[in-house]
Chains A and B, each alone.
Chain A
Amino acid sequence: MFAGFDFDVIVRSLPYLFLEGMRFTITLTLLATFLGIVIGTVLALMRLSSVPGLSQIAAGYTNFMRSLPLVLVIFWFYFLIPYIGQWITGASRPITVGAFASALITFSLFEAAYFSEIMRAGIQSIPKGQAGAGYALGMTYRQVMQYIVLPQAFRNMLPVLLTQTIILFQDTSLVYVLSITDFLGAASKIAQRDGRLVEMYLFAAVVYFVISFLLSRLVQRLQARTAIIR
């Protein structure tokens, strides 16, 4: 059944697939993870704060984002960002936003909802006495969070955060719906140009599998190493 296979098409398109497609995918994954964790941590702190209103806003945002399909959110932001940009900059017409910027904003804000739930669990896993001890030493809220609670929460949740990053890596393939040249987009363009759908999609599946599988193995080893013996 592999007799009619043209493996050559894969070899010929390797530079395009990896230097253009995979570079887009990996850059998007890393930046969106970073921004997602930053925004997610802020959301988690809001969620756990005693200031009236903040908690409800954060919970509303998180639950809202988590009930929508990513594909719909991608479409939303793709059409909405030009108008928001116009509103912010005061331009006379909707501004044009590049594919990468649009995807980055979408994924950062969408994944922030998921990261915030992880960070919330992480913060809640720190015994209350630790924050209390910090306040007793005269630390401010900011200092308690920055030097005591968040570093530990982050460490406890590192495996879960990385697992979410693997999910984010797989989710970036959905930018396909905007015809963006990420790794899958690049594979799909070659597949359609050369009529080699079988080879290209199988190859894309293998690449995604190998990367995700190795990363998840890494997470498992990390989990065993960073586990705090109590």
Chain B
Amino acid sequence: MNYNWNWGIFWQDNPEGTGNYLDMLLSGLKWTIVTALCAWVLALILGTIIGVLRTLPSKPANAFASAYVEFFRNIPILVQLFLWYFVLPELLPRTAGLWLKQLPNAPFWTAFIGLGFYMSARVAVQLQSGIAALPRGQSMAGKALGLTTLQTYRYVLLPMAFRIILPPLTSEFLNTIKNSSVALTIGLLELTGRARSMQEFSFQVFEAFTAATLLYLMLNAVVVLGMRLLEKRVAVPGYMTGK
């Protein structure tokens, strides 16, 4: 390979005047983490609501939740981001649309909301199967004790279901981190986007992508280790994962 390797490139100043190229990549990593975390919180909240709606004994609630899940699962994430970013401001009333367009940091807000909704459909499906995996007796016992439906979910079903689905939720969180890279198309300066601009400025394509790859692998490892600790702490005694 006649490629001019130059690993010292990371310590050269970047053309944006914000320090060296390594600083540029690290600021990308920061935006990746911030976006993924915010989107994940939103996904958990919305996903819980939708997942619960799917398990309620109510036809309209089931239908709404199913439609929600199908909508967000069957459109590619990139197209969804375009819908939030380019289409939504045009469909809103004029003043609201203008406000949205002039929002500072619009790529971040779009990625946060868009990714959050996209991932929420996946969280909802996981939660639904987690609740379905619980023995029927659990919700019946809740009812027998005189708990309302809300209380049954709050105190009996959800605490169990979330602990059961913790492993798949971990991989959904990793997916959120990975999917945040799609937001480079709407101008979010996250890790992949920063590696791409470093390549465009410095022509050191393989150094830039190697560094981004290593940072993603490290981020993955941190999340996996953290979630493993959490899994151990909240394991339900008597279940396969419990020990």
Name A's B-contacting residues (CB within 8 A): 1, 64, 67-72, 75-76, 79-80, 83, 86-87, 93, 170-171, 173-174, 176-177, 184, 188, 197-198, 201-202, 204-205, 208-209, 212-213, 216
Contact = CB atoms under 8 A, between A and B. Distances in A.
Nearest to A83: B1
A64 B221 CA distance: 11
B3 to A, nearest CB: 6
B213 A72 contact: yes
Contact of B86 (A69, A197, A216): A197
Contact of A69 (B2, B75, B179, B205): B179
Instruction: Give chain B's interface secondary structure class.
Output: helix
B72 to A, nearest CB: 10
Most chain B CB within 10 A, of A70, A201, A213, is at A201
Contact of B90 (A171, A177, A198, A216): A198
B73 to A, nearest CB: 8
B192 A205 contact: no
Contact of A67 (B3, B76, B217): B217
A92 B28 CA distance: 36
Contacts of A70: 178, 181
Nearest to A171: B76
Interface string B172-211: 0010011111101100000010011001000001100100
A170 B121 CA distance: 16
13 contacts: A67-B178, A67-B216, A69-B216, A75-B192, A79-B205, A87-B1, A176-B185, A184-B79, A198-B86, A208-B74, A209-B71, A209-B74, A213-B74
Contact of A71 (B75, B192, B199, B217): B192
Contacts of B87: 197-198, 201-202
Contacts, number: 105
B91 A69 contact: no
Contacts of A87: 1
Contacts of B75: 170, 205, 208-209, 212
Interface of B: 1-3, 70-71, 73-80, 82-83, 86-87, 90-91, 174, 177-182, 184-185, 192, 195-196, 199, 205-206, 209, 212-213, 216-217, 220
A171 to B, nearest CB: 7
Nearest to B224: A67
A70 B199 CA distance: 18
A201 B185 contact: no
Contact of B206 (A79, A171, A173, A213): A79
B78 A176 contact: yes
Contact of A72 (B1, B77, B216): B216
A184 B83 CA distance: 12
A205 B216 contact: no
A177 B184 CA distance: 9
B196 A75 contact: yes
A86 B213 CA distance: 23
Given A69-B192, A201-B86, A213-B70, A170 B213 contact: no
List the 9 shortest-distance A-B pairs measured between CB atoms, nearest first: A69-B181, A212-B74, A170-B76, A69-B178, A67-B220, A173-B76, A71-B181, A197-B86, A209-B74
